[in-house]
Structure 1
Amino acid sequence: MRPQLKGLSWERAGDRLRLVYDPRDQFLLADPDGSVEKLLTLLDEGGRTVEELADVLAADVADVRAAVEALDAHGLVEDGDRLGGLDPDEAERHFSNLAFFESFATLDRSREDLRRRLRASHVLVLGTGGLNSTVIPHLAGLGVGRLTLLDRDQVDPRNFARQYLYRWDDLGARKVTRAAEWVRAFDPAIEVDTIDTSIDGPDGLAELVGRTRPDVVAAGIDQPGDVDLWVNQACVRHGVPFVRGGFLVTTGAVWSVDPGISACRACIPADPVDVTAYTDPDEKTLNAISAMRLHLSRPQHNRGIGPVVGLLGSYAAFEVLRYLTRFEPPAHAGRPLVLDFANGCLANHPDEWQRNPACAVCGGR
């Protein structure tokens, strides 16, 4: 291991050093004899082991190791031995991705390690319209190595309010075919498989997840009505995380399921208007059930516009990224992020799903 300083700046403030990597944070370190600044200078140069650093500094190896570990705990160093292994063309293509991952790199996990994880990853994308028409370009931009795209529809004029994968000349074409062509044209290094079919039951979906063996499922389909429960069941059975986003009139949500860790979709009432699914519901819950029942009594219309699906799709793609790299824990696992499009796009986590030990899908896992 050869610890290397990240893009850190520092200045002397009396007998202390002010360190800044991210402007949101700063560190003030006591350095009356200048030894800390000498260590930072050597780490900035890189290429030395802890033992070699101690030799140059004429310091105890244990003290230098403790100092490096303290810097690592604050996300200020990574292992230089884990850098420089990417092909120059790949490093150039992913210049910005690598710069982003630098912020989350450690001595145990470099920015290039995170890039390699994405290259080796496979995402099953259920639906290439609506939400996922934003998710797919983000996954392609990140350089996810393999995408399996599923859709059953053709391109029609209504799609153009929000689905920018397609062009007017694509009217009448199969969506999944055009989406795959877009990805291949964007980055030929990405492997793309297509499945032009509908989801018609839980068994078929479970077979699909088991056969394709993705690392994550990005779910963006809402028909038939029970499809979320089918995806949930298939993914929990096979231990595959899945990410879902959607919206209702002026409220959007993004949530995910981390099998065996978070609550799953089956842990909460499946039918939003079934009052018997709630134990001793209070007045607020009863009123919410009544409002949903009235709303669902009328035909539903797709109100998705570009900014709406763009926001939701970006949040969903970020959650997929968390699962693929684990650069940070999933943010919305059993904890839906709710966006209020009638209130300045305010985003919060108002509720958290509780794991049900007796859940027929995830109980006991």
Structure 2
Amino acid sequence: MYDPRDQLMVSDPDGHVEKLLALLYEGGRTVSQLADELSLPVQDVLGAVESFDAERLLEDGERLGRLDATEAERYFSNLAFFESFGTLARSREDLQRRLSESHVLVLGTGGLNSNTIPHLSGLGVGRMTLVDRDTVDVRNFARQYLYRWEDLGARKVERAAAWVRSFDPAIEVQAIDTGIESAEQLAELIDRTRPDVVASGIDQPKEIDLWVNAACVRHGVPFVRGGITVTKGIVWSVAPGVSACRGCVPADPSPNRATGPGSSAPNGSQPSTG
């Protein structure tokens, strides 16, 4: 297996599996051709191929080689990673193409998402909508590496969008300089931008996680939430219709603590995970 922690043990008393694996590694054969070379029934070979595919060990050669030379070089490391998740129905290149066709709505370009945005850009996400209301401040430089000293006083969301365009001009990016003041405003934003995923990194107001949850569940949009609570990082996600949602948790699970990841709790107490 690709992950050295995993092993796939296969019984092969007559050596047919080893021969099949060697032919699959060479590639370029149909199931019928494999069966002919192994002198085995087509259904037996098909069953073996389906088993290997279920373990994500096979890709369809016709679904590879469709990226041009520049794209293949640009996404070289991504493709090496996606190989572990490729199947006959969806190759590593299909996975990369899906990213290039995706739109992420990034709520907040501060402590969390100033680090998330470069990773999304490196992955090759094709479109981003960035939302923030703050300016670059001296205190940001402890952990917001997206910004430069010359950006002091500039609008964060504009500088973040400029960074993305400079990093990869192929990425379409929109900057929205605003705060989130109500559930209705957030719902309208998601309805208007129609993202595939929401990356939420806003801490205030304290109801923000419930607002994001309600809007995303209503529109069927998955979202990811992350933050830091003093000494530990927290990340959780909601896939509407698949996972539980934030609405399942009491609005204020611990009355003496802040509810959002990354929130500043009074008197040194740790914020709850939400």
Of the structure 1 ranges 145-154 and 66-75, higher mean CA displacement relative to structure 2 is found in 66-75
Q: Which residue of 1 aligns with 2:222?
A: 241
* Structure 2 CA distance for aligned equivalents of residues 297 and 138 of structure 1: 32
Alpha-carbon distance change, 299 to 62 in structure 1, aligned in 2, over 3 angstroms? closer
Alpha-carbon distance change, 23 to 211 in structure 1, aligned in 2, over 3 angstroms? same
Q: Which residue of 2 aligns with 1:182?
A: 163
- Which of residues 140, 143, 150 is equivalent to 2:121? 140
* Structure 2 CA distance for aligned equivalents of residues 256 and 36 of structure 1: 40
Shift of residue 301, structure 1, vs aligned partner:
11
Q: Which residue of 2 aligns with 1:51?
A: 32
Q: TM-score, normalised by structure 2?
A: 0.90
AA in 1 matched with 2:149? W
AA in 1 matched with 2:242? I
Matched, 1:94 2:109: no
* Structure 1 CA distance for aligned equivalents of residues 207 and 178 of structure 2: 17
* Structure 2 CA distance for aligned equivalents of residues 169 and 224 of structure 1: 30
Shift of residue 298, structure 1, vs aligned partner:
4.5
- Structure 1, unmatched stretches of 5+, are 1-19, 275-288, 303-335, 339-352, 354-365
* Structure 2 CA distance for aligned equivalents of residues 262 and 27 of structure 1: 29
Q: Is the 8 A contact 2:125 2:171 kept in 1?
A: yes
Name the SS for the 2:10 alignment partner.
Answer: strand
Matched, 1:40 2:21: yes
What is the aligned-residue RMSD (CA, Å)? 2.5
Shift of residue 194, structure 1, vs aligned partner:
0.6
Alpha-carbon distance change, 254 to 301 in structure 1, aligned in 2, over 3 angstroms? closer
Alpha-carbon distance change, 262 to 34 in structure 1, aligned in 2, over 3 angstroms? closer
Of the structure 1 ranges 56-65 and 154-163, higher mean CA displacement relative to structure 2 is found in 56-65
AA in 2 matched with 1:232? N
- Which of residues 256, 260, 266 is equivalent to 2:247? 266
Q: What are the Cα deviations for residues 71-97 of structure 1, in whole angstroms up to 9, with x where unaligned? A: 222222121121111122111111111
Q: What are the Cα deviations for residues 317-361 of structure 1, in whole angstroms up to 9, with x where unaligned? A: xxxxxxxxxxxxxxxxxxx9x7xxxxxxxxxxxxxx9xxxxxxxx
TM superposition outliers: structure 1 runs of 4+ over 3 Å: 27-34, 295-302
Alpha-carbon distance change, 201 to 300 in structure 1, aligned in 2, over 3 angstroms? farther
Name the SS for the 1:185 alignment partner.
Answer: helix
Shift of residue 297, structure 1, vs aligned partner:
5.1
Shift of residue 58, structure 1, vs aligned partner:
2.4
Shift of residue 36, structure 1, vs aligned partner:
2.4
Matched, 1:209 2:190: yes
Q: Which residue of 2 aligns with 1:122?
A: 103
* Structure 2 CA distance for aligned equivalents of residues 194 and 159 of structure 1: 19
Q: Is the 8 A contact 2:206 2:258 kept in 1?
A: no
Of the structure 1 ranges 28-37 and 242-251, higher mean CA displacement relative to structure 2 is found in 28-37
Q: Which residue of 2 aligns with 1:167?
A: 148
Q: TM-score, normalised by structure 1?
A: 0.69
What percent identity do the matched residue pairs reach?
69
Shift of residue 292, structure 1, vs aligned partner:
7.0
* Structure 2 CA distance for aligned equivalents of residues 296 and 148 of structure 1: 29
Q: Which residue of 1 aligns with 2:237?
A: 256
Alpha-carbon distance change, 80 to 129 in structure 1, aligned in 2, over 3 angstroms? same
Alpha-carbon distance change, 61 to 141 in structure 1, aligned in 2, over 3 angstroms? same
Matched, 1:74 2:68: no
Name the SS for the 2:28 alignment partner.
Answer: coil
Q: Is the 8 A contact 1:272 1:292 kept in 2?
A: no
Name the SS for the 2:85 alignment partner.
Answer: coil
Shift of residue 211, structure 1, vs aligned partner:
0.3
Which structure has greater strand proportion? 1
Q: What are the Cα deviations for residues 23-44 of structure 1, in whole angstroms up to 9, with x where unaligned? A: 2223343444433222222111
* Structure 1 CA distance for aligned equivalents of residues 250 and 270 of structure 2: 24
| Structure having greater relative contact order (Cα 8 Å, sep ≥ 6) | 1
Q: Which residue of 2 aligns with 1:232?
A: 213
Q: Is the 8 A contact 1:150 1:196 kept in 2?
A: yes
Q: Which residue of 2 aligns with 1:16?
A: none
* Structure 2 CA distance for aligned equivalents of residues 82 and 69 of structure 1: 17
Matching of residues 317-332 of structure 1 within 5 Å? none
* Structure 2 CA distance for aligned equivalents of residues 176 and 301 of structure 1: 29
AA in 2 matched with 1:120? E
Q: What are the Cα deviations for residues 240-265 of structure 1, in whole angstroms up to 9, with x where unaligned? A: 11111123333432111211232222
Q: What are the Cα deviations for residues 211-257 of structure 1, in whole angstroms up to 9, with x where unaligned? A: 00001111111112211111111111111111111233334321112
Q: Which residue of 2 aligns with 1:24?
A: 5
Alpha-carbon distance change, 296 to 115 in structure 1, aligned in 2, over 3 angstroms? closer
Shift of residue 299, structure 1, vs aligned partner:
8.9
AA in 2 matched with 1:156? D
